[in-house]
Amino acid sequence: MLRIAVPNKGSLSGPAAEMLHEAGYQQRRESKELRIVDPENEVEFFYLRPRDIALYVASGQLDIGITGRDLLIDSGANAEEILPLGFARSTFRYATKPGVVSSLEDLNGVTIATSYEGIVAKHLADHGIDASVVHLDGAVETAIQLGVAQVIADVVETGTSLRNAGLEVVGEPIMKSEAVVIRQTGADGEEPKVQQFLRRLQGVLVARTYVMMDYDCRVEQLEKAVALTPGLESPTVSPLHNEGWVAVRAMVPAKEAQRIMDDLYDIGARAILTTAIHACRL
Ligand SMILES: Nc1ncnc2c1ncn2[C@@H]1O[C@H](COP(=O)(O)OP(=O)(O)OP(=O)(O)O)[C@@H](O)[C@H]1O
Ligand SMILES: O=P(O)(O)OC[C@H]1O[C@H](OP(=O)(O)OP(=O)(O)O)[C@H](O)[C@@H]1O
Ligand SMILES: [Mg+2]
């Protein structure tokens, strides 16, 4: 049975459960459940604190985990990222009151509050900066107002939390994060159960980012049309009963679908349809 760690709380938990559900796995019915077994898929899910997941996976007790890239790196655990999942996207940045710090060098001698000491300590060491780091569990933005630190290093998504606290970012992002699938560093990558799990999640990612496009076009326009919709391998082209016309079917990125439909129409394609992809194995 494949043993998988899933975030039980916070920003990662809802979208992770949703993705697993879309991939056909049974998920817990209520948020107090700490472990469920999905016998049909031979998978056991453990609902753990996101921050602890890398440690469990590194220990080898669990085969796979879903966590944030920032949490994985911060933990320093012996685990590695094997598949980015595209949700819980964020940056990790320094921030302070306007006018206090203008460049990284100005961080010398200041106190920096953060929940991600591992990332911050390494970043400071890599840049030869000598600053003190104070660990806080959360709501780090308030540390400056309350005098615990002059600078914070925290997760930034929309920037609303920083603005509300009257803070502005310093320098470039320390890192970019998103939810990722992790496993113990160097674990057997060919393990069929692991491969099947990854294929299912990849299928969800593809279903979320692509749509299926169908249209009819004249044979003379086919090469131009196919250049607009190359598909993943190559589009399917079938003859139509009306001579001189073909039907074309290809996957296209959902974000570009409307533009592609306009361009196809302009070169004479007609009956252009898009349909959602429900699930997929590439
Ligand atoms: N506002 C946000 N937008 C996107 N991702 C976020 C946001 N806040 C946290 N994350 C991501 O969620 C993960 C942290 O999860 P964690 O559960 O520890 O914190 P949280 O989501 O802030 O929850 P809480 O603070 O309520 O416990 C990290 O990977 C982080 O990058
Ligand atoms: O840039 P934004 O869109 O405002 O998002 C970033 C904020 O979201 C998270 O906070 P959360 O609400 O989880 O509280 P926490 O600080 O206690 O973790 C994170 O720690 C930031 O504070
Ligand atoms: Mg938080």
Identify whether residues 102 and 231 lie together within a single domain.
Answer: no
Mean pLDDT over 78-89 rounds to: 98
Residue 194 lies in a domain: no
Task: Please tell me the distance between residue 174's alpha carbon and the centre of ligand 3 in angstroms.
Answer: 17
Q: In the prediction, which pLDDT does 108 show?
A: 96
- The Cα–Cα gap between 200 and 281 comes to 7
- The Cα–Cα gap between 280 and 68 comes to 25
- The Cα–Cα gap between 234 and 249 comes to 9
Complex-level ipTM: 0.95
Under 8 Å between Cβ of 76 and 195: no
Contacts of 172 (CB under 8 A, 6+ apart): none
Distance (Å) of CA 113 to CA 52, 73, 89, 110: 21, 18, 22, 10
Residue 252 lies in a domain: yes
Q: How confident is the model at residue 78 (pLDDT cuts 50, 70, 90)?
A: very high
Instruction: List the domain range (segments joined by +) for residue 115.
Output: 90-177
Antiparallel, parallel or unpaired: β 2-7 and 64-68: parallel
**Nearest C-alpha to atom 12 of ligand 1 is from which residue?**
11
Identify whether residues 74 and 123 lie together within a single domain.
Answer: no
| pLDDT at residue 189 tops 80 | no
Instruction: Supply the pTM of this predicted model.
Output: 0.93
Residue 203 lies in a domain: no
Query: Quick one: which atom of ligand 1 is closest to the CA of 115?
Result: 18
Choose the residue to mutate in 155, 164, 177 for probing ligand 2, maximizing ligand atoms within 8 Å of C-beta: 155
Q: In the prediction, which pLDDT does 100 show?
A: 87
Split into its structural domains, the chain has a count of 3
Identify whether residues 56 and 166 lie together within a single domain.
Answer: no
**Nearest C-alpha to atom 12 of ligand 2 is from which residue?**
139
Identify whether residues 183 and 65 lie together within a single domain.
Answer: yes
- The Cα–Cα gap between 78 and 72 comes to 9
Tell whether ligand 2 has an atom less than 6 A from the beta carbon of residue 103. Answer: no
Mean pLDDT over 208-237 rounds to: 96
**Nearest C-alpha to atom 22 of ligand 2 is from which residue?**
161
Task: Please tell me the distance between residue 136's alpha carbon and the centre of ligand 2 in angstroms.
Answer: 13
Under 8 Å between Cβ of 140 and 113: yes
Q: In the prediction, which pLDDT does 122 show?
A: 97
Tell whether ligand 1 has an atom less than 6 A from the beta carbon of residue 70. Answer: yes
Antiparallel, parallel or unpaired: β 245-253 and 236-239: antiparallel
